[in-house]
Amino acid sequence: MFRKAHLLFTILCAGSTSAITIIMSLLYLHVSESNLYDSQFRAFQNDVSTITASLEQSTYVSMQWLARIEAQNDYTIFVVDNGTPFLYNNLRGSVDPNSQSLLAEGLTAHDSMSVNEDLDSQGNTYSGIRHTEFEFASPPTQSTYYASIIDINRESTLSQIVILCSLATLHETILRQRILFILIDLAAIAALLVFSWFFTGKLLRPLQENHEKQMQFIAAASHELRTPLSVILASNECCQSASPEEQPGFSGTIRREGKRMNRLIDDMLTLAHSGMNRFLIERKPVEPDTLCLNAYEAFEPLCAQKNLTLSLSLPETPLARCSCDPDRIAQVLSILLNNAVSYTPEGGQIELALHYRREHRTSFEITVTDTGIGISDEEKKHIFDHFYRAEKSRSTKGHFGLGLAIAYEIVNAHHGKISVRDNPTGGSVFVVKLPEK
């Protein structure tokens, strides 16, 4: 599922960014090509204006001069004298086989543009020199040209100089530019694909981990619920065929296992709420020493029953109040003390202590120290995980491996910290740090 989503997000991310890149490069290409055409046309117009200015100052047209201009600018120039093409190109010795048709096409394109070429703007017969620039495409040469026709009307003789500038070189430049852009775009798309793959992978990883954790939680929860349920079903079956004297025993088992299931479901709901950030903390000013005293009093009978010594250590000076949810913190103390009782053999000692620290941030520190079986360094890494139980405590009935996970969530919701360390004299020390506010 995540692999498919990863692929889909990658395609979506890379696809959208690539589309934007391609649109931007097409826009850039369009603007740059228009500029290239414009500047080429302007350069051509400037050349023609210079030629026209020179022609206006001289009385005759020098073929050598035209040949020089043609060679310098890579133009094709024709001279038409009174409607008859002057074979100027032959003189140069570089006859283009299409030149005659090119000339004809140029003149036809020019004629189709001119309304009345022999009349000036006032309607009088035109006299002097004028020039017109335009663009035309020649199907035989498959080329496009900028053309200029300079009309020289002197003493009722009309000479025309046709100047053609092929756009083939410009088209080649544009083609090269387009190929370069395609290559750059392809490289950009490849880079975007790789980047999107890693980026979306990084984004999806926490979701995937969360999903895996949820799956593990569901699997572990189902496993834990099945045990009491099987006992209930089996006891119920036995109860039906049992004698009246045996029946209360089976009913007792059913009740006990039902309670066990109920507690497990409560724990799971607490964790589910914390996972959905719906863990409600109702803060109020609380005297932390009262909280510890209550927990001590609640566990003293149980410790006495198990032949354990429970002691309470409180600061001698009066303490400030702590802003916390008293029920939730009492639940944390109950989990820690319950574990200490469960994992400390008979004759052991348990200490509940409260300290007031003013070092970095003012905080209350509650410690539960026992002289029990202790926790190995490897186990310390997992004890706050959901459903984690160390191998040696698996046989302890009624322990689902959720207590410390719940304690962790509660302390975390108070912006506090919970940790565990070894008791130098054997056993473990659980430390809960709570900020004052």
Binding-site ranges for ligand ADP (CB under 6 A): 335, 339-340, 343, 370, 372-373, 375, 383, 388-390, 393, 399-405, 428
Give the Cα separation of 328 and 334 in Å (integer): 10
* Residue number, 11 or 420, with CB nearest to ligand ADP: 420
* Residue number, 164 or 432, with CB nearest to ligand ADP: 432
CA-wise closest residue to 366 among 298, 303, 294, 313 = 313
* Residue number, 253 or 428, with CB nearest to ligand ADP: 428
Q: Taking the CB of residue 93, how many other CB atoms lie within 10 A of it?
A: 7
* Residue number, 189 or 272, with CB nearest to ligand ADP: 272
Residues in contact with 4: Cβ distance below 8 Å, sequence separation at least 6, in sequence order: none
In whole angstroms, the minimum distance from the beta carbon of 315 to ligand ADP comes to: 24
Number of helices and strands in the chain (H, E): 10, 12
In whole angstroms, the minimum distance from the beta carbon of 391 to ligand ADP comes to: 8
Give the Cα separation of 166 and 75 in Å (integer): 7
- Tokens read off for 358: 């003013």
Contact 332, 397 (CB under 8 A): no
In whole angstroms, the minimum distance from the beta carbon of 272 to ligand ADP comes to: 16
In whole angstroms, the minimum distance from the beta carbon of 401 to ligand ADP comes to: 4
* Residue number, 145 or 408, with CB nearest to ligand ADP: 408
In whole angstroms, the minimum distance from the beta carbon of 382 to ligand ADP comes to: 8
Give the Cα separation of 191 and 431 in Å (integer): 50
CA-wise closest residue to 155 among 88, 84, 82 = 82
* Residue number, 192 or 404, with CB nearest to ligand ADP: 404
In whole angstroms, the minimum distance from the beta carbon of 406 to ligand ADP comes to: 8
* Residue number, 48 or 383, with CB nearest to ligand ADP: 383
The dihedrals phi and psi of 245, each to the nearest 5 degrees, come to -70, -35
Query: Residue 344 region, left (φ>0) first, then alpha (ψ -120 to 50), else beta?
Result: beta
Contact 331, 369 (CB under 8 A): no
In whole angstroms, the minimum distance from the beta carbon of 346 to ligand ADP comes to: 15
